[in-house]
């Protein structure tokens, strides 16, 4: 080995020793935690989460035009940036109108395939992040009306946040049939 190569090797060995000494004072490596994220909202005192891929935006309830001959939970249609969107009241659909004034409530927008609809909820609590190991496959709820739309939930500080699927709601024939019959 040449003198230059030997000097370079000695220098690298010195770097390795110094790095190990400095690393001793560094914190231990922690395992990364994977998180699930959703939009938190409340509905009749329930803490719910909408999956991020099911909410295209969150709006204040826009001005809408009522449509004659529809069920009371279909509020009407609104022009949102040049697109007509149906506006539905989730509380009324579930059979229990909210006590909050409409201007205090928020709209979760579902924009999938040919469906562009806004679902009015009581309050939006922003993005919520939960460790994947906090997931519970079957959330307990005393509210039978919510049951068909729930997909498990996440536990945080002893409180369960149920995952509410807007897609499941949109697949419900009762939700898609807003016209009064008879």
- Cα–Cα distance measured from residue 159 to residue 42, given in angstroms and rounded to the nearest whole number: 13
> How do residues 46-83 score in pLDDT, each as one tens digit?
899 999 999 999 999 999 999 999 999 999 999 999 99
124 in Cβ contact with 106 (< 8 Å)? yes
Write the CB contacts of 61 (distance below 8 Å, at least 6 apart in sequence): 87, 102, 103, 105, 106, 107, 118, 120
How many whole angstroms separate alpha carbon 173 and alpha carbon 150?
Answer: 17
CB 88 within 8 A of CB 175: yes
Q: What is the mean pLDDT of the chain?
A: 89
- pLDDT tens figures, 150-169: 999 998 898 889 999 999 99
- Quote the longest CA-to-CA distance of the chain: 99
């Amino acid at each position: 080995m040449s003198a230059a190569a030997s000097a370079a090797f000695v220098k690298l060995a010195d770097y390795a020793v110094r790095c190990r000494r400095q690393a001793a004072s560094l914190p231990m490596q922690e395992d990364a935690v994977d998180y699930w994220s959703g939009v938190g909202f409340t509905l009749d005192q329930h803490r719910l989460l909408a999956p991020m891929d099911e909410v295209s935006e969150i709006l204040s309830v826009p001005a809408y035009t009522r449509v004659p001959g529809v069920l009371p939970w279909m509020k009407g249609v609104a022009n949102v940036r040049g697109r007509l969107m149906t506006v539905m009241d989730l509380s009324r659909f579930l059979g229990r109108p909210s006590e909050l004034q409409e201007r205090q409530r928020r709209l979760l927008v579902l924009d999938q395939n040919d469906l562009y609809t806004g679902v009015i909820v009581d309050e939006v609590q922003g993005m919520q992040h939960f460790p994947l190991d906090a997931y519970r496959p079957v959330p307990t709820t005393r509210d039978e009306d919510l049951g068909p739309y729930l997909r498990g939930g996440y536990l945080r500080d002893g409180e369960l946040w149920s995952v509410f699927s807007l897609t499941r709601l949109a697949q419900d024939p009762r939700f898609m049939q807003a016209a009064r019959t008879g």
